[in-house]
Amino acid sequence: VEACIHRGGDEIGGSCVELRANSGDRLLLDLGLPLDSEEGEGAPPASIVGLDGSDPRLLGIVISHSHPDHYGLVDAAAPEIPVFMGAATERILKEALYFTPMGLERTTVRHLVDREPMTVGHFMITPFTVDHSAFGAYALVVEADGRRLFYSGDLRAHGRKPGAFRSLLEHPPPAVDVLVLEGTTISRHDVGVPFTENDVEARLRGEIRATPGLFLACYSAQNVDRLVSVYRATIQEGRDLIVDLYGASIAAATSRDSIPQSSWERVRVYVPQGQRVKVKLTKEFWRVNEIGRSRIYTEEIAEDPGHWAMSFRSSMAVELERAGLLADARVAWMMWPGYLEGERGARTREAFDSRGIPLSIVHASGHASVEDLQLLARAVSPRRVVPIHTAASERYPDLFDNVVAHADGEWWDV
């Protein structure tokens, strides 16, 4: 079996790996949008053939998780090309498509299930649940012609599923020939010990305690681990949590009763203006009917803003301000701090500054530290390590044994 990294060998984002078995069967792992492409733009690498459905040997696209840099170009593939992903990923992407410009609605031929091998033509695919900032993320082992490739997808050891990483270390897939390993955190300077989701929770408690009024938490609605951290910190500080309809829908899409749901006693749902309009235009009134008594309006929040922590998006600022909810508010920025830089970042900061809302950054990376990546590589002990999803592939040989880097578009034997 041969492999080719179509994109991602020396960049973070836009990941796509192809496998071609001796029989001619072909399989794509991820088909992501490059990080620097604008919404709705970007095209699959020209080196991928048959995305128009013209090659019956292209047996499918396997999506590792619900981040755009891994699934964002699937819509460019002809609808008859089968797509495989986890059941939760499918539901989450469908919800995202309703609420945001991103997302995906695509019939999934078969769902990935943790450690359950699945045969597709001459390939055997075994998914492994990993800890990542996207819910339901998998690493993938693909076997063909007696060879085995392990694609890490995106993973980490310091989120809310540390057991998933530990189990990979303790029971790694055996006899791996090639480990295609993400290296998002690998850079010229070592970052050291990562800030964990538990650290996020602890830091957040302090921030909430220091807030006399409404506490605003800015995080991605799809970052389910972060929702759990925010919920835990909120409850421990004696407040209740308000999520928006999008966040509530993503939590429901996980189908997991350990994830804070709108039916929980200390979770309420606010439907911001933009989402109210969307529900009306699409006539999907079940979306608001479903949350029922858990729905909260600005009048109730205004009675005692200091009783609440609220999931916040900048599009909500005007209506909350108009309702008088932002006096004595504070905000925690819980996304990549890079979003606060540049021209757009300056506008975001200004939106808080101009309203006198102090901002602090509380964030943990979705990606494994260099040390954890080394632990994984040692546990899997592949014959070769191939860099992907990294801006510093040239550093791999200093960090791992048997590194062979491959240029995008180059074919090589597994």
Nearest in space to 268 (alpha carbons), one of 304, 231, 317: 231
Is the backbone of residue 296 left (phi > 0), alpha (psi -120 to 50) or beta? Answer: beta
Kindly determine how many residues on this chain lie close enough to bind Zn ion according to the rule CB under 5 A.
2
DSSP code at position 233: H
Of residues 140-159, which lie at the interface with Zn ion (CB under 5 A)? Answer: 154
Q: Name the minimum Å distance from CB 72 to Zn ion.
A: 11
Q: Binding string, 11-50, against Zn ion, x = CB under 5 A?
A: ----------------------------------------
Residues 6+ apart with CB under 8 A from 294: 262, 263, 267, 268, 269
Nearer to Zn ion, 88 or 216 (CB): 88
Of residues 51-110, which lie at the interface with Zn ion (CB under 5 A)? Answer: 67
Q: Name the minimum Å distance from CB 327 to Zn ion.
A: 37
Q: Name the minimum Å distance from CB 154 to Zn ion.
A: 3
Q: Name the minimum Å distance from CB 184 to Zn ion.
A: 8
Report the C-alpha gap between 243 and 217 in whole angstroms: 10
Of residues 358-397, which lie at the interface with Zn ion (CB under 5 A)? Answer: none
Q: Name the minimum Å distance from CB 58 to Zn ion.
A: 24
Q: Name the minimum Å distance from CB 66 to Zn ion.
A: 8
Tally DSSP H helices, then E strands, for the chain: 13, 19
Say which amino acid occupies 259. Answer: I
Nearer to Zn ion, 63 or 331 (CB): 63
Nearer to Zn ion, 172 or 366 (CB): 366
Query: How many Cβ atoms from other residues are within 10 Å of residue 319's Cβ?
Result: 15
Q: Name the minimum Å distance from CB 124 to Zn ion.
A: 24
Q: Name the minimum Å distance from CB 130 to Zn ion.
A: 10
Q: Binding string, 224-263, against Zn ion, x = CB under 5 A?
A: ----------------------------------------
Q: Name the minimum Å distance from CB 67 to Zn ion.
A: 4
For residue 147, give the 3-state DSSP assignment.
Answer: strand
Report the C-alpha gap between 292 and 62 in whole angstroms: 37
Nearer to Zn ion, 67 or 226 (CB): 67
Beta strands (DSSP E) in 97-200 are 108-112, 118-120, 123-129, 138-144, 147-151, 178-182
Which two tokens mark 226?
């972060």
Which two tokens mark 348?
């975001």
Nearer to Zn ion, 181 or 271 (CB): 181
Of residues 322-361, which lie at the interface with Zn ion (CB under 5 A)? Answer: none
Nearer to Zn ion, 368 or 377 (CB): 368
Beta strands (DSSP E) in 165-286 are 178-182, 215-218, 240-244, 267-270
- 153 contacts 142 by C-beta, under 8 angstroms: no
Alpha helices (H) in 239-365, listed in sequence order: 245-253, 273-282, 286-291, 298-303, 317-322, 342-353
Residue 372 is inside which H or E element, if any? Answer: helix 370-380
Phi and psi angles of residue 287, each rounded to the nearest 5 degrees, phi first:
-60, -40
Nearer to Zn ion, 18 or 131 (CB): 131
Nearer to Zn ion, 18 or 154 (CB): 154
Report the C-alpha gap between 116 and 349 in whole angstroms: 46
Q: Name the minimum Å distance from CB 69 to Zn ion.
A: 7
- 110 contacts 118 by C-beta, under 8 angstroms: yes
Nearer to Zn ion, 254 or 360 (CB): 254
Which two tokens mark 132?
């990542």
Report the C-alpha gap between 401 and 391 in whole angstroms: 19
Which two tokens mark 255?
């189908």
Nearer to Zn ion, 67 or 148 (CB): 67
Nearer to Zn ion, 136 or 305 (CB): 136
Q: Name the minimum Å distance from CB 133 to Zn ion.
A: 6
Binding site for Zn ion (CB under 5 A): 67, 154
